[in-house]
Chains A and B, each alone.
Chain A
Amino acid sequence: MNLGALLAFVRPDLDWHALAPELTLLVVGTLVTVVDIALDDKAKRIMPTLAGIGLLVTLVPILTLAVDGAERPMFGGAYVVDDFSLVLKALFILVGYVVVLMSVDYVREGDYYENEYYTLLLTSLLGMVMMASSRDLVSVFVALELLSIPAYMLAAWRKGGPRSNEAGLKYYLMGVFASAVMLYGMSLVFGVAGDTDFGTIAAALTGEGASPIVIVAILFVLIGFAFKVSAVPFHTWAPDTYEGAPTPVTAFLSVASKAAGFVALLSLVFVAFEGAADVVQPFFWVLAAVTMTVGNLIALRQTNIVRMLAYSGVAQGGFMLAPFAVAFEGDAWQLPGTDITTTPYFAIVVYAVIYAFMNLGAFSVVLAVSRRTRSGDISSYGGLFSYAPGMAVLMTLFLAALAGIPPASGFFAKFVVFWALVGAGTPAGWVLAVIVAVNAVIAFGYYARVLQQMWFEPVPETVALGVDSGGDDEIDLAEAADVSADHDEHGDAWLATETRQATMVRFTPGKIPMTGALAAALAITAIATLALGVLPGLVSHFGDVATFHFGG
C-alpha cells in the first residue's frame, strides 16, 4: 500500500448549504468571544443581543433547507440533513433563543461572566443541532460531548455558591460516567456490526438475534442516554443539578439537553436497533413505567419549586419514553386512517416540542416571581393571584399544560402518547397506557399544590429566603429584609433553598419587576403553549413531516 496515498488528505465533498446552520452557530459563537476580547467591558451589554440575533439568523438556513426539502446525506451517511433533523434543529434554536431571553437579566444582575456564558450556551446548542443530524455512532458521540461539556460548566456558573458547584460537579461526574458506559456499549455494537453507521448496524443486528453480547451492547448504549434524559434509576443527578444551577441553565438542561437525548434515542432506536425489538421494547417499557411513577411520587413531596419541576421533568421524561415501548408493534408502523408512519416516533417528537415550550414557560415564571419573593419555596407563591394576577394566570396555563389539561398544549402531548400505546394493539401497550393515565392523575397532585398556593392561600408574611451559605453569595439579611423591588447582586441564590437553614424574612407583595427580555420569554412560551393546545395541528404537522432518512 502506498503510504503517500493513504496520508494524502482528500477533502470530503461538502454541502455548504446543508452545513450552514452549524457554521452560522459556530461563527456567532466565535464572534461573541472576539467582540468581547476586542471591546472588553464595553461589550458586555451587547452580548445577549448578539447571541440572540445570531440564533435568529441561524433559523434562516434551516428555513431555506426546509423549503428545499431534499434529503442530504453527507460523510457516507454519518451526517444527514432531513426533515426530522431540521424540525429538531429549529426547536433547539428556538429553545436557545428563549433561554437567552431568560438569561439576560439573570446573568447581568448576578454579575457573572457574560461573554463566556453565551459562548458556552451557543457551543452546547451547536452540539444539539449536530445531534439532530447524526446517524453514526461516532458523530452521535461527538455531538453528545459537544453539547454536554459546556453544560457542565454552565451548571456551575454561580461559582461562588457551593450548591452551584455541587450541581456542576455532580452533573459532570454522572455525565462522564454515563459517557463511559455508553462508549463501552458502542464499542460492543461496533464489534458485532463491524461498522459505526446506523444502517449497517441495523442490518447486522437483524440477523444476529438476541445473543448476550447484543443485549449488553444495546443496553449499555441505551443506559448512557437514559442518564442524559434523567430516566429513573439514572436520574439522581437531576434534582440537585437543577436546584443548584442558575435557573436559566436549569431550564436549558431540562428542556434542550433532555430533548437532545431523545433525539439521539430516536435515531438510535428507530434506525440502528430496528432489528432488536425484543431487547429494546421491554427495556423501555420498564424504564418508562418506573420513570414516570417514581418521578411523580417523589415530586409530590417537594417543597422547593425548582426541585418539584425537576422531578416533574423526570416524570414527563417517563411519558416521553413510553412510546418507545411499542416502537415496532403492529399497526404502529403505518397508522390507519392517516398518512403517518411510525406513530411512536411521531408521539415522541410531538411531546418533545410541546414539552419544551410549557416547561420553559414554567421556569420563566419561576424566574420572574423570584425577582419579587427571592424564594424558591412553593409556599412563597401564596397569594400570587392577589398581587400579580397576570403572572398567576400564566403559571396556571403552564402548569395546566404540564398536567395535561386542555386547552393548554400538554393534553395533546399526553394524547399522542395514548395514541401510540393503544394503537400498537398489544396488551403491553394497553397496560402501559393505563399506567400513563394513572400517573397523569398523580402528577396533578403536585401541580395543584402550586395552584393552591397562588390562588387559594393568603400572601405569606414571611418567606424562606433562598440561602446559600458562604462565599460571595451570602445574602445580606438586613438588605434582604428590606423588601424593596430592586435587585441586589446576590439575587441568584434565591431559588436554592436549604430548608433547615432557611432564613425567614418579611415579605411585602407588590408588582413583580419585569424586564423586556423576560416578558418576551413569557410571551413566546405562553403563546406557543396556548396555540399548540387550541390548534394541535400546528405541531402535529411537524411531527408529520419529520420523517427519517433511513439508511446511508
Chain B
Amino acid sequence: MDATGFDAWALTLAVFLPAVGALVMMAVPRARELELKMIALGASLATLAVGVYLLFAFDYGNAGTLQFGVHKGWIDAINADYILGLDGLSLPLLILSMVIIPLCVIYSWEHIPEPGNAKALLILMLILASGMNGTFVAQDLILFFVFFEVVLLPMYFMIGVWGGENRRYASLKFFLFTLFGSALMIVSFVALYFVATNDAGAALNTFNMSELAAAAGGDLARGTQAIIFAGLFMGFGIKVPMFPFHTWLPDAHTEAPTVGSVILAAILLKLGTYGFVRIALPFLPEGAAAWAPWIGLLAVIGIIYGALGCLAQTDMKRLIAFSSVAHMGFVMLGIATLTPIGINAAVFGMVAHGIITGMLFFLAGSVKERYHTLEISRLGGLLKSAPRMGWILAISAMASLGLPGLAGFWGEFPAILSAYEPGAGLSEGLFRTYMVIAAVGTVFAAGYLLWLFQRSAFGEPKPEWEGHTIADVNRYEWAAWTPLIIAMVLFGWVPGLIFGMVDDVSIGIAESISAAVGGS
C-alpha cells in the first residue's frame, strides 16, 4: 500500500507543515505581527493546498483501502511504526480540519482576544492543526495516541489564556476529563497489543491499525472485548463528549475564545467519534455489539438532555455548546446501530456539525464583539441592525436544526433512519424506541434554535443599544465565513459528495462486525 513519489510525502506534509510554520513563527519577534499572521496563513493554506491535491489524487473507486500510505520504523522496541494512510473515512475529516484552520487564522486577523499576543495564539492554532491532521491519518495506535494528545495542551492554553472569566476552571476541567479518558485508552491500546489475535488464535502483537482491523477481534472472547472496549469508550466517549461525561464541554466552549470554540466544536470533538469508527468498532466487533445498546441509550439521553439544556440557557454561546451535546448524540446513535447507513450518517454528521457549529461559534464571537454580551434577552433586532449577519445566523440555525436542503439534515435524518433496523443482532425494539426519542429530539432542536433566532434577530433592536452602531459583517468575517456557508448549502444539496467517500468504509466495518458477531 506504500505510495511513491510525492504521494509518499503528501500525508507527512499535511501533518507537519503547520508545525513547521509554528517553528518559523517562534523565531519571529512578537512585534512584527503582520509577518506572523502571514506566516500562519501561509502555512495553513499550504496545508490546505496539500489537501486539495489529496482530494484530486484520491482514488474514489477504492475508498475503502488506505491510500498515500507511508510505513517507516519508529520505535522498534515496542513495535510501533510511523504509519500514515488515508481512506474514505479519514478524507472528509482531514479536509474539514484543513479548511477550518486557515479560516480561523483569517478570522483572527482583526479579532485577537484579550490579552492579545497574536503570535502565541497563532502558534497554538498551528500546533493544533498538526495534532488534528495527524490523528485523522495515523494508522498506528501509538502514533494515533501521540497526535490525539498533542492537541490537549494547545487547547488548554487557548482556553486558559484567551478565555472568559471562568477560564481557569474551564481549562483545567477540559484537560483533566480528557486526560482521564486517554489514560484508560492507552491501557486498552496496550492490552490490544498483547491480547488481539487473528482468527486462528495466534497473537498479533502489533499496533498496526489496519492489521488489527483486519483481524476484527479474532477469537477474543466477548467478555475480554467488552472490557477493552470499555477503556476505549472512556477515551473516545469523553472526547465526543457523551452524556454523562459531557460536563466539561459547556464550560470549555463558553469560556474559550471564538477561534478556540470553533476548533473545539468543529474538529476536536470529532477525534472522539472518529476513534469509535476507526478503532473501537472494527477492532472489537463483539465488544461493540455488547456496548451498542448502552451507547445508543447514552446517545439519546444526550439528544434530549442537550436539547433541554439549550432551552434553559440564557447565553447564546452556552446554548450552542449544549446543542453540540445533542448533535453529537445523533452521531453516536448512528454509530451505535452498527449499520453502514448509521456510520455514514455519523461521518456526515461529524462534518456537518463541524461546519455548522463552527459557523455558529464564529457568529457568537462576532455578536459578542459588537454587543459585549451574549445574553439572549439583551440581543434582538439583529436583522435590522446588522441584516447580513442576521441572515447568516438564520441559515446556520436552519442548517443546525436539520432543515432539508442544508447540511445538517443529512447527519440527523439517516441516523434516525438507521436506528429503525440496527445491525449485528441488536434489539430492534430497543433501537426503534431510541429512534422515536431521537425524532422527538429534532423537534426540540427546531424549538431552541428558532427560539434563539427569534429572540436575537427579530423585532426591534433593544433600546439600550440606541446610539450604538452595530457594524455588519466585515471583510475578514466574509472571508472566513463564506466557505462555510457555501459548504452548508452544497452538502445539503449534494450529500453524495461525502456519502460517496465514506460508503465503502462503512460497509466494510458493518460487514466485519456482523460477520464477527454472527460467527460466534
Instruction: Give chain A's interface residues, CB within 8 Å of chain B.
Output: 331, 336-338, 340, 346, 385, 389, 396, 400, 405-407, 411-412, 415-416, 418-419, 422-423, 425, 430, 433-434, 437-438, 440-441, 444-445, 448, 451-452, 455-456, 535-537, 540-541, 543-544
> Using Cβ atoms and an 8 Å threshold, which residues of chain A touch B179?
405, 440-441, 444
Contact between chains at A537 and B77 (CB < 8 Å): yes
Contact between chains at B187 and A455 (CB < 8 Å): no
Contact between chains at A422 and B187 (CB < 8 Å): yes
Instruction: Give chain B's interface residues, CB within 8 Å of chain A.
Output: 73-79, 120, 142, 145-146, 149-150, 152-153, 156-157, 160-161, 167-168, 171-172, 175-176, 179-180, 183-184, 186-187, 190-191, 193-194, 203, 205-206
> Using Cβ atoms and an 8 Å threshold, which residues of chain A touch B153?
396, 400, 405
Q: With contacts defined as CB atoms under 8 Å apart, how many contacts are there between chain A and chain B in the complex?
A: 108
> Using Cβ atoms and an 8 Å threshold, which residues of chain A touch B183?
437-438, 440-441
Contact between chains at A543 and B145 (CB < 8 Å): no
Given contacts A422-B190, A422-B194, whether A441 and B176 have CB atoms under 8 Å apart is yes
Separation of A437 and B190 alpha carbons in the complex (Å): 12
Contact between chains at A434 and B77 (CB < 8 Å): no
Given contacts A337-B79, A434-B184, whether A418 and B190 have CB atoms under 8 Å apart is yes
Contact between chains at A425 and B194 (CB < 8 Å): yes
Report the minimum CB–CB distance from B187 to chain A (whole Å). 5
Report the minimum CB–CB distance from B252 to chain A (whole Å). 14
Contact between chains at A543 and B190 (CB < 8 Å): no
Residue of B nearest to A449 (CB): B172
Residue of B nearest to A340 (CB): B77
Report the minimum CB–CB distance from B165 to chain A (whole Å). 12
Contact between chains at B152 and A405 (CB < 8 Å): yes
**Neighbour of A452 across the interface among B78, B146, B172, B187, CB < 8 A:** B172
Given contacts A422-B194, A444-B179, whether A411 and B75 have CB atoms under 8 Å apart is no
**Neighbour of A456 across the interface among B74, B78, B161, B184, CB < 8 A:** B161
Given contacts A441-B176, A441-B183, A452-B160, whether A423 and B145 have CB atoms under 8 Å apart is no
**Neighbour of A537 across the interface among B76, B160, B175, B205, CB < 8 A:** B76
Contact between chains at B176 and A445 (CB < 8 Å): yes
User: Can you report 15 residue pairs joining A to B where beta carbons are below 8 Å apart?
Assistant: A336-B205, A338-B77, A338-B78, A385-B161, A389-B120, A406-B145, A407-B150, A416-B78, A418-B190, A433-B190, A437-B187, A444-B176, A445-B172, A455-B161, A540-B77
Contact between chains at B187 and A536 (CB < 8 Å): no
Contact between chains at B190 and A336 (CB < 8 Å): no
Separation of A425 and B191 alpha carbons in the complex (Å): 9
Residue of B nearest to A424 (CB): B194
Which 10 pairs from chain A and chain B are nearest by CB? Answer: A337-B205, A540-B77, A437-B183, A406-B146, A422-B190, A456-B160, A441-B180, A406-B149, A336-B205, A537-B75
Separation of A232 and B152 alpha carbons in the complex (Å): 31
Separation of A203 and B156 alpha carbons in the complex (Å): 54
Report the minimum CB–CB distance from A445 to chain B (whole Å). 7
Residue among B77, B145, B171, B193 with the highest chain A CB neighbour number at 10 A: B77
Contact between chains at A411 and B149 (CB < 8 Å): yes
Given contacts A434-B184, A455-B160, whether A537 and B194 have CB atoms under 8 Å apart is no
Contact between chains at A418 and B187 (CB < 8 Å): yes
Residue of B nearest to A534 (CB): B146
Given contacts A338-B79, A340-B77, A407-B150, whether A455 and B157 have CB atoms under 8 Å apart is yes
Report the minimum CB–CB distance from A522 to chain B (whole Å). 16
> Using Cβ atoms and an 8 Å threshold, which residues of chain B touch A396?
153
Given contacts A338-B77, A340-B77, A540-B76, whether A423 and B190 have CB atoms under 8 Å apart is yes
Given contacts A418-B186, A537-B74, A541-B77, 7 further A-B contacts (CB under 8 A): A338-B76, A407-B150, A411-B149, A433-B187, A438-B180, A448-B176, A537-B75
**Neighbour of A434 across the interface among B75, B76, B142, B187, CB < 8 A:** B187
> Using Cβ atoms and an 8 Å threshold, which residues of chain B touch A385?
120, 161
Residue of B nearest to A397 (CB): B153
Separation of A416 and B160 alpha carbons in the complex (Å): 31
**Neighbour of A337 across the interface among B145, B160, B206, CB < 8 A:** B206
> Using Cβ atoms and an 8 Å threshold, which residues of chain A touch B175?
444, 448
> Using Cβ atoms and an 8 Å threshold, which residues of chain B touch A536?
75, 77
Separation of A323 and B150 alpha carbons in the complex (Å): 26
Report the minimum CB–CB distance from B95 to chain A (whole Å). 24
> Using Cβ atoms and an 8 Å threshold, which residues of chain B touch A434?
184, 187
Report the minimum CB–CB distance from A319 to chain B (whole Å). 12
Report the minimum CB–CB distance from A316 to chain B (whole Å). 15
Separation of A412 and B74 alpha carbons in the complex (Å): 13
Separation of A456 and B176 alpha carbons in the complex (Å): 17
Contact between chains at A540 and B150 (CB < 8 Å): no
> Using Cβ atoms and an 8 Å threshold, which residues of chain B touch A340?
77
Residue of B nearest to A445 (CB): B176
> Using Cβ atoms and an 8 Å threshold, which residues of chain A touch B172?
445, 448, 452
> Using Cβ atoms and an 8 Å threshold, which residues of chain A touch B77?
338, 340, 346, 536-537, 540-541, 543-544
> Using Cβ atoms and an 8 Å threshold, which residues of chain B touch A418?
186-187, 190
Separation of A448 and B170 alpha carbons in the complex (Å): 13
Residue among A400, A423, A535 with the highest chain B CB neighbour number at 10 A: A423
> Using Cβ atoms and an 8 Å threshold, which residues of chain A touch B168?
452, 456
Report the minimum CB–CB distance from A532 to chain B (whole Å). 11
Separation of A412 and B179 alpha carbons in the complex (Å): 15
Residue of A nearest to B26 (CB): A393
